[in-house]
Structure formats: structure tokens, C-alpha cells
Chain A
Amino acid sequence: MDKKLTRRALLRYAGLVTSSVLLAACAPKVVEVEKIVEKEVTKVIKEVVKETVIVAGTPQVVEKEVTKIVKEIVKEEVVVEKGRDIFQGDLILWHPWGTGYEGGAYPFLRNSEHFPKLYPGVNFINMYESSRDKYLAAIAAGSPPDLLLVNAIAIPALAERGALMCLDPFIKRDNFDMAQYWAMALDQCSWKDRTYAISHHPDVRLMYYDQVVMEEVGLDPDKEPASWDEAYEWGMAMSKQEGGRYVRFGWVPTWTSGPWTNHYMIANGVERLDRTGRLATFHTDEAEEAMAYVLKCTDDICGGRDNVEEFQEVHATPDGKGPYWMFPWHRTGMLLYGNWLYCPIGIIDPDQPINNGSLPGGPAAPGVRHVFHGGTMVAIPSDAKHWELAWEFLKYMDSQDYGNGAQFIQECGDDIAGNVAEATAAYAMDFPGRPKVIEMFKMAESYSYLPSPISYEWEDEMYRMADRILLREQTIPEALATSQKTIQKALDEFWATV
């Protein structure tokens, strides 16, 4: 019989073949298990040696720190899961920055080149622009990445909801040295005394003083204001007008990295939640005092909220608008801002004379100075596929195998290298404010956020409260009462679901 291949038959067979190919491609792969791997480990050993030197003709014994780089081959037994070699395959990291030098993206670019050299067979996938809604959807779908870069505000929110893997068992098993981190970096990576992430990029909000402006108005450029009253006076002195318009603000207390309502409440000794974390307790006399202070500064030093908004637009610089770009152009005398302000300073005027310090405590909490911390860290989602390999990466991220990773970021306080073209590790380590910034990292104890499962609602409500106060839509007591009610409702709703 003469069989002709009709169009219908052709389509039928093509569909069958395609389906078979797709099914075959989706089939799980079986790989070998359990093998010994050798890897080259580079150790940087610093030791103090004694040396005899001749000083003015007299031999003297001095101590000198010597750095030795030692490479050795180490044999390790691979811990594998059934049917899978943990040191093979894709290791996927998501972060919210763009490509290239933006934010903390630069170290991850280098990670994607360097990590596979340590673990051949591992394909490190560095996924950028992974926003919160994207990773939440991935977690909900049961297909999260192996590593997730989050910020400090996300840790309590995600950890309390069981979305992150607790790292304590890994830390204990591998004897991972957590003492290498600053106390605040450990604090922000933890929730309820359990560690959920390893610090990648901690940061602080500290005071910046433009010493050129301070000298111009007769202030001692090496001093800091001791109190809020003194800060107010300094702000008034450093503001400048020309032709009836402000050309410089001495101080804009509302220009902080984060909601200012949060920072000044803390600085005036306000406890935002009770010890259980279930009761909002921030509507106090101290909080009202703090808000009133900021309102007074905004009105007196800056001419009011609308003036501040207009100033930002009017004095937009060639590089951009907002306090981030204005400080290097001497448009503000002092500023409470994140340590990453050294990025535009490094780009525009690296030699700008600057002093750094901390925010003095308010009238209700004098004598205490505040540096507010936040930051980013890398966590392993609970349902990550390659969690053992992910943990290997977290250890590597701060190891001395890799000199430009998170450890370096910790040491210099920010990804400053990533934001300055042609920057090298050596350059970034020498940026002018480094010694002071490192000091601020060590003393940072105040949170720039609320460590609570409702941290995001807190953040948004603080911004709203700030608007209501500055726009005079409500009086300060009314604004605090409204916000406390909102936060309490959010707390009650959350804890009712637990």
C-alpha cells in the first residue's frame, strides 16, 4: 500500500517527538556520590617578629608585624547528599543591584570569576536586579535561589516567617569564626539569638562635618556638637543666604539615610517596643520632644519643609540631586548620613576636609552618642537546593582566599571600591575617612530600623509620620498617636497569625 505522509501526520509526529525531547530533558540526572577532593588553600598568616635595629647607634629590639602568604594542598572529604554531588552544578545568588559597580554588586562579579576556580564544576550564577517581590515570589513557588542578598530590615521579617535557614548548625559543625565580625554585623544577621545570614556589607549612619564650612563660620573643625542645642546653634551658624534665598543649609536633620523619626526617637532614649516585642511603646514625652526638636531645626535652620524640598531641586548638582550629591559641593555644613557618602566624596573631591562623628543624645538621654547601623547580608533560603554549597560560599565570602570580598568591605566600611572607577583594594583601603569610619562601626549599637517581623510596616509608617509632622497635617502628639495605633495593629495582626 502506498502510504503518503500527510500534513496532519507530520504535525502529529512532530508533536510526539517534541514532547519526548522535552520530557527527556526534564528527567533528573543521577550523579556519582562521595569523593575526596584536593584543593589549594591560600592562608595569610600575620605574625609578630622581633628584630634588632640600630637607632642612634644603639641596638634596639623592636617588634614588627610580618605577613606571610602560605599555600597548601588540603584534602577534604566531600559531604554529599544522596544522588547529588554538592560541589557540582549551579550555585545561584540573587542580589538587588545592577550590573557592574552599582551598590555591592562589584564583589559578586569577582566572586563569579573566582569561586569556580576553587570549586571546579560549580557554575556561580550572579543574578542581578532581584527585587523583593521577585524573591518572595520565588520562595512562595518553592524555587528560591541558593543564596539571597537581603538587608538588615528583612532578617527579622523573613526569619520569623521561616523563610531563611538557620546557620548555627553549620557554624558549630565547621567551627566558623564569628569573632571576625563586628558586634553590630553579628547583631543584624541574627534574630532571637539565632544566626540567619553572614554579613556582606554592613553600614553605619554617622555624622559628617564639612570642616571648610565650619572654619568659615568660626567653628572648631575638629570638634563635634555635644548636645542637640549645640547642634542647633552650629546649624544656624553654618546656614547661608544670598539674595534672600538659601544657598547652604547648616544642618538638615531630616536628611538621614532612613526615616529620621526613627533616629531621633532612639537618640532621645525612646523604647519603640516593649521587651516582648508585641507592644508599641514609642508615644512618649521623649518622642514628642524629639519630633519637636527636628521640626524646630527644619523651620529655623532651613526655613521650613517646603524650602528643604525646593533646595534639593534648585541645587541639584551636575552629578545628581539630594543630600548624597550635595555634601561634596559644600551645600550642607553637617549631615547624618550613611558611610557610603564617601562614594560621591571620593568621586567629586577626595581631598575634602571632613570630620566624622556620632549623633549626640537628646535632652532626655544626654551623654550617649549614637551611630545607627544597617547593612546587607547573604542568607540561604529555607528551600534552597544547594544549601551545602551555599554555606561553602558564605565561608569563602569572608575568607582570606579572596582579598576583595566581604571581609575587605567590612574593613573599609563600604563598597567604595565598587563605586569609583579603576579603584583597587589598596586605594579603597586608603580613603580619607577610613580610620574614623572604622571607629564608628565599632561603636554602632543603635538600629536604623526596627528589629521586628513588622520591620517594613514600621519603616513605611515612620516615613508617613514624618510627612504628617512636617506638613503640619497633624500635631506631633496626634501624629505619634496615629502611628502608634497603626504599628500596634500591625503587631497584633502579625502575632495573631503565629
Chain B
Amino acid sequence: MGQEATSAIRAVRAKRGRRALSPRAQEALVAYLFASPWLLHLLLLTALPVLSSLYFSFCSYQIVKPAKFWGPQNYVRLFTEDTRFIKSLGNTLFMVIVGVPLGMIFGMSIALLMNTKVKGRAIYRTMYYMPSQVSGVALAFLWGWLLNPQFGVVSNILWKFGIKPPLWIASPKWVKPSFIMMGLWGVGGSMIIWLAGLQSIPGVFYEAAEIDGANRWQRFWRITMPLLSPTTFFVLTTGIIGSFKIFTQAYVLTSGGPADSSLFYTLYLYQNAFNYFKMGYASAMAWVLFVIIMSATLLQLRFARAWVYYEAVR
């Protein structure tokens, strides 16, 4: 029957003088046509700019003038002459090394609380999740007021304990911890992911552990943590990638100050691109960042074999 239909189609097409497309080819063509807007978007607005930036990274490109190819000079300057590049990388690494683990601990803790059978749990989940949906700029302005040394909420709490609050974003020592605090306010996003992970753990494990006399702490360490390891891995990887891209709060509140203490990598990249007319140099910085993040991700993937437990695999 199928063969007859195919022959009939071919006969009709032959009569019309066109080369016959198989039904599979036809379906594929239609599928590509429907996907074409997205494919065009990917090619024109993602792939092409990415490849262009690779080319520009080997050019002197002042945005308003055509790019002039000059080889790897941007990369050489980056690694041999630019002290602010090192400073920005150091500031960013601080946020990654301190901010990511703190964010994970807070996110997981809240998720564990939200996973208990508490009345109004849905409302609490919403309340914890909502701050993560606030836009970066609004969040920055809001925290600018929360961290007011005199009458900000955070400072008031410290005053109550007799502690003189620091100058927060106006202090080179406290500006990065201030940004970490702002980031912790938005752990609701990772909380949802932790929650999903927690709820995917079968209850039978806990029942069996209880029967065997395991206490709460043992159940957490021996059951919850290993079975939550895929989620942990995901949150860790995305958290590291996100932390490397920290930009909005520094751009809005401090412009990298005081004295470059909040000069993060992407902010410095932006300054080179749009303040100093060094788009070629900024493109080189972007590719270096890509290599750093890719390397970090590959390292994590490599070491994940040792500690991430996928129930279906083992």
C-alpha cells in the first residue's frame, strides 16, 4: 500500500515535470522551514557575532572606524601589560570562590525547609522565589538603600547589636561582600532546582534508613547528599558560569570603584569596548573568558565522575 502511494506521488510529480521528493524529504523540508526563523536568528544574531568577535579579537577595532588586522597583539597586551585585567580577574574569582558556595548552601538550606510538610508551604516557596525574578538594575538600586550605613535595614540590624556598620559599597574591603549579599537575596532560583532534586529522591530510601536506625544527620549525609549530587553538580556549574559574568550591580552602583575593588571582568570588558573604543581588545577579553569558563566546566565534568551519582547509571 505504501509503495503504491509513493509510486502514485512520483507519477504525478513526473507528469508535472518536477523532481520527486520523498515523503521523508518533504517532511524534513517543512520542518526546516518551520524552524527557519529560529535558525536564522541563531545564525545571524548568535553565530555570526561570535565569529565576528573572534576576528575582531585579532584587530584594532575602535567601533566607529573599520577594524584593522594586527595579529595577536590584543592577547599579548592582555597577559603582559594590563594590570587591571589581572585585578578584574582576581575580583571575579573572589566572587566565584566565595559567592558560589555560599549561594549553594543558602539555596539548599531553604529548599530543605521548603521540602518539609509545613502549612502554607506554597506561599513560602513563592516568597523565596520572587526576589530572583527582580531585574538586576532594580535589585541594585534597592540594595543601595538597604545597605545605607545609617538607616539601611542591614545596617540597622547591626546597630541593634552594637556593631558600627561598614560603608558597604563605598568601602574597598566591603564592596565585594556587599555584592555577595545581593546575590544571596536571589537564591530562590536555585532553591527551585534543589527542591525538584529533593522531591525526586524516592522515599523508600529514607524509610529503609529509618528502619535501620539512621538518625537525621546520617540520612542527610548518606542518602540526601549523594542522591542530590546531580542537582548539586548542575547548580555548581551554572553558578560558576553565572558568577564569572557578574556585571549589573557593579555597573549601576560602583562603576568598578572604589579604587577598582569592584572592577569585575565583564565590567572591565564593557569599559574597554564602549568607554575606551577598544572593541578588539574587549573581544579578546571575551574569548579569554570563554576559555576560562569552558576549562572550568570541563574540569568539573571530569571530576564529576568521582562524586556525582546517577541512580540509573550505577
Contact = CB atoms under 8 A, between A and B. Distances in A.
Given A15-B33, A309-B167, A313-B149, A132 B258 contact: no
Contacts of B64: 136, 139-140, 158, 161-163
Contacts of A11: 30, 33
Interface string B49-75: 000000000001011110010000000
Contacts of B278: 493
Contacts of B259: 464, 467-468, 471, 473
A457 B276 contact: yes
Contact of B68 (A139, A313, A314, A497): A497
A136 B68 contact: no
B33 A140 contact: no
Interface string A467-493: 110010100000000000000011001
B271 interface: yes
Interface of B: 30, 33, 60, 62-65, 68, 81, 148-151, 167, 170-172, 255, 257-260, 270-271, 273-279
A133 interface: yes
Name B's interface SS: loop
B277 A306 contact: no
A254 to B, nearest CB: 12
Contact of A471 (B60, B150, B172): B172
Nearest to A456: B275
A8 interface: yes
Given A161-B277, A497-B68, A464 B148 contact: no
A14 to B, nearest CB: 11
A132 B65 contact: no
A471 B63 contact: no
Contacts of B270: 133
Contacts of B271: 460
Given A132-B274, A456-B275, A456-B276, A497 B167 contact: no
A316 B148 contact: yes
User: What are the 9 closest A-B residue pairs judged by CB atoms, nearest first?
Assistant: A467-B259, A163-B64, A133-B274, A309-B170, A314-B150, A467-B258, A456-B275, A161-B64, A140-B63
B276 A314 contact: no
B59 to A, nearest CB: 10
A463 B257 contact: yes
A155 to B, nearest CB: 13
Nearest to B67: A140
A32 interface: no
25 contacts: A15-B33, A132-B274, A133-B274, A136-B64, A139-B63, A139-B64, A161-B65, A162-B64, A162-B65, A309-B170, A310-B150, A313-B170, A316-B148, A457-B276, A460-B271, A463-B255, A467-B172, A467-B258, A468-B259, A471-B258, A473-B172, A473-B259, A490-B276, A497-B60, A497-B62
A373 B279 CA distance: 30
A162 B277 CA distance: 13
Nearest to A312: B170
Interface in A111-154: 132-133, 136-137, 139-140
Contacts of A132: 274-275
A157 interface: yes
Contacts of A490: 276
A476 B283 CA distance: 34
B201 to A, nearest CB: 46
A163 B66 CA distance: 11
Nearest to A315: B150
A457 B62 contact: no
A239 B149 CA distance: 22
